Chain A
Amino acid sequence: MKKIRVALAGQPNVGKSSIINSVTGARLHVGNFSGVTVEKKEVFIEKGDYEIEIIDLPGIYSLNAYTPEEHVAKKYLYEEDYDLIVNVVDANTLSRNLIFTMQLMDMQKKMILVVNMIDEIEKQGGEIDRHKLEELLGIPVVLTSAKEHRGVDEIIDQIIVTYESEKPKNKLYYDERIEEQVNRIVKVLHKSPHFKDPEYARFIAIRLLDRDEDIYKIIHDLPIFIELHEMLGKIYRELELEYDEESTSDVLSGDRYALSKALVMEAVRKPQKKVTLTDRLDKLLIHPVFGLPIFLFFMWLLFQLTFEVGSIPMDMIDAAFTEMSNLVKAVLPDGAIQSVLADGVIPAVGSIIMFLPNILILFMGINLLEQTGYMARTAFLLDGFMKKFGLQGKAFIPLVSGFGCTVPAYMAARTLKNPTDRIITMLILGFMSCSARLPVYVLLIGAFFPMAQAGNILFIIYISGAILGLIVAKILRTLLFKGEPEPFVMEMPPYRFPSMKALAMELWIKTRLFLKKAGTFIAGASMIIWFLSTYPHQPEIEARYLQKIEMTQDGEAKAQLQNEMISKVLERSYLGEIGKTLEPVFHPIGFDWRMSVAVVAGLAAKEVVVSTLATLYAVGDADEKSNTLLQRLRENVTFKAAIALIVIIMIYSPCIAAMSTFWVEVPQWVWRGFYLVYPNLLAWLMAFAVYRLLDFMGY
């Protein structure tokens, strides 16, 4: 069986993914490109004697790469080993797509051009002459419509034919004056043993004229570099002068632009220009006045769906894991293994998987926004406001998602293609109070504020978190990312009906990755927390209390003793020790060791703060509505310390699930380190300020 490796390349929004999804009999494999969090989709197809592997590269506008995803695609095209390139272009915007096609053709690899969305052109009365295009470009052309499943399987046949035949002679030549200089560079390149192959040398020469820094790096260490460098300087000046352009890259671009215009003129009969559905929708959806309210309505709808509908299966999942935990307790003998599973791993993994419905609904919504083309419009609408805080329009969606759950919000930040925008957005996401923090707020408000004010206080907490986030974004942008603001230039793709098959596929992939993470990382982390809170064992304390409990008749007193025992045991556990060690840190903001432990335990999950406080103040199983817990808190915690605790919960690191998501999404160690330190430092400082202020005011 022969193996053929195909790199699938094309500009964004040309329908590469829908082509991949509609190939008959394909097996899909999803992973990441090594070292980066850019999704790598591979498809395997068996046909006759061939096994064809197609790698779906991220969308790339030009070999002069700009976004991280483009760099991934470019790196793959330059460095990896593959047999041929399939370049997908959009029939609607052929002339600008062909400019990138020419850059690919410069690579002198075997190549197939796939003109997709041909149905849209034909419906409007246009036509593309495939044979003319083949003749002019000198490479095979396939016309497809992934939506109507037209021509898709023909791509596979063409891949085999192209693989088996000789590479056709290059037909792409630039303006004479450019070609002259290309030949001059090629002559020098030939002096080095690396560039004996004339086609490869031509590619390098063109890329040098296109000012490709990655290629410059390749020649930088070669003996011919000095000679080449000197000559390039001269050539750059000559060409720039001759064409009256600022850079030879512009010269080449201009020539490619002219060539592609000519190609389209020859091979395409353009459809009559009509007012399209997109034009009409845009009139309303990005209307200067109505655009924003419409967008806010869609957002409201999405979050209603996410948290209302999502909460229905949540209870069922919770119940299922409780059952599982009970089952383990019944089946396994008492001991460490039973305890670590039933009290540590299963509840922890369960508490994470509980969020899966939320995440899936939110993702479905975001995916629909993206697939239909509306996402680009939201960025258009909000960019002006977000820019004031050093953020980008698209950042709004992850930020709002953060009020639900920080985990999907971090993942939603993937839609930000610019790395700086993305990192700033991710760094302030934690300040959008997630739904898990709600129980803690409710508990503390209930204990320290009159009922009538509860709603207002809660609103103040949420709003001040958001405002703090925007301020911090502004500060981060001015302090850490100095210089020019990042440019905002974005294609607004036409509105399209989403493909349900692609949507289902996406959701399935997300589910699988999420479950994998819950089963590995989160299970491991919860084992550590369990260990810290269970060891070392305190047999004497337990024995003493069990004896006392035995002797008491009164049921209430029994429960009281039981709780006291748990509290004493916890105090002596490693977790308790940690809390006591931390006490000096939290003392200036009025926390005792119990509150300190609760805050630290909150790093596992914010809901844990409530249950930990309950255990440590020895009231047993309690929730935020428990009156005894409220009573105990009022007796033991001062008002100012309670406010300080709210401030801490608002600002400090999110839960372990969110932190690990950040860890996975951000590969740079600098940001990982920064992310671990700065929210906690900021939280402490803010809490300290608030505590001292209240103290000064006499509370």
Chain B
Amino acid sequence: MKPITKCRIGCEGTIARIRAREPIKGRLFSLGLAKGSHIKILDHTLAKQTWEVESDGTKIALREEEAASIFIESQECDT
């Protein structure tokens, strides 16, 4: 289990935990990011301040802080 900010572009896996607080947690959830859903890291900006992920056909942009609260269970993606 590790935060998605530790992952490379293109890596994917299952969300193991979301450590964000309300209302961000609720917001992430209504966009489809919840414990157990599949997630893929699509992109980040040059300085890694903003991240883009995809889950079930929805693309979502996040700041580093919010992205770091999403923990992923995955074998094949180490930085």
- Residues of A participating in the B interface, judged by any CB pair closer than 8 Å: 11, 61-62, 64, 66, 92-93, 95-96, 99-100, 247, 249-250, 253-254, 257, 278, 282, 286, 288-289, 291, 376, 379-381, 383-384, 387, 393, 485, 487-494
Contacts and interface: CB of A to CB of B under 8 A. Distances in A.
A387 B31 contact: no
B53 to A, nearest CB: 9
A581 to B, nearest CB: 50
A654 B19 CA distance: 44
7 contacts: A96-B30, A278-B59, A381-B45, A383-B49, A487-B66, A490-B62, A491-B31
Interface of A is mostly: helix
B55 to A, nearest CB: 8
Given A66-B23, A393-B50, A257 B61 contact: no
A282 B43 contact: yes
B62 A489 contact: yes
Interface in B32-79: 32, 34-37, 42-47, 49-50, 52, 56-63, 65-66
Contacts, number: 110
A492 B60 contact: yes
A555 B27 CA distance: 74
Contacts of A278: 59
Contacts of B11: none
Interface in B5-23: 22-23
Contacts of B57: 92-93
Closest A-B pairs by Cβ, 10 of them: A384-B49, A492-B59, A96-B32, A61-B30, A62-B30, A488-B63, A380-B61, A288-B46, A487-B24, A490-B61
A95 B28 CA distance: 14
A380 B51 CA distance: 8
A376 B61 CA distance: 8
Contacts of B27: 61-62, 66, 487, 489
A254 B56 contact: no
The interface centre, meaning the residue of A62, A379, A387, A490 with most chain B CB atoms within 10 A of its CB, is: A490
A393 B59 CA distance: 17
Contacts of A383: 45, 49-50, 61, 63
Given A490-B61, A490-B62, A491-B61, 13 more contacts: A61-B31, A93-B58, A95-B32, A96-B30, A96-B31, A247-B22, A282-B59, A384-B45, A387-B63, A489-B28, A489-B31, A489-B61, A489-B62
A384 to B, nearest CB: 3
Contacts of A257: 29, 34, 36-37
Contact of A286 (B32, B36, B52, B65): B52
Contacts of A384: 45, 47, 49-50
B2 interface: no
A698 B26 CA distance: 62
B65 to A, nearest CB: 7
A380 B32 contact: no
Contacts of B35: 254
A71 B52 CA distance: 26
Nearest to A373: B59
Interface of B: 22-32, 34-37, 42-47, 49-50, 52, 56-63, 65-66
Nearest to A288: B46
Contact of A66 (B26, B32, B34, B44): B26
Nearest to B29: A253
Contacts of A96: 30-32, 56, 58
A491 B49 contact: no
Nearest to B59: A492
A388 to B, nearest CB: 9
B17 to A, nearest CB: 11
Contacts of A253: 26, 29, 34
A278 B60 CA distance: 13
Nearest to A256: B29
B50 A100 contact: no
B23 A64 contact: yes
Contact of B52 (A93, A95, A254, A492): A492
B58 A380 contact: no
A11 B31 CA distance: 10
Nearest to B31: A491
Nearest to A264: B56
A64 B52 contact: no
Contact of B22 (A100, A249, A282): A249
A379 B61 contact: yes
Contacts of B63: 383, 387, 487-489
Contacts of B58: 93, 96, 491
Contacts of B65: 485, 487
Contacts of A494: 59
A694 B71 CA distance: 58
A491 B60 CA distance: 4
Contacts of B34: 253-254, 257
Contacts of A493: 59
B61 A488 contact: yes
A244 to B, nearest CB: 10
A291 B47 CA distance: 13
B45 A249 contact: no
Contacts of A286: 43, 52
A282 B30 contact: no
Contact of A95 (B22, B56, B60): B56
A381 B34 CA distance: 25
The interface centre, meaning the residue of B30, B49, B58, B62 with most chain A CB atoms within 10 A of its CB, is: B30
B43 A288 contact: yes
Contacts of B52: 282, 286, 380, 492
A350 B27 CA distance: 46
A240 B52 CA distance: 31
Contacts of A249: 22, 26
A489 B60 contact: yes
Nearest to B23: A66
Contacts of B56: 93, 95-96
A544 B61 CA distance: 72
A370 to B, nearest CB: 15
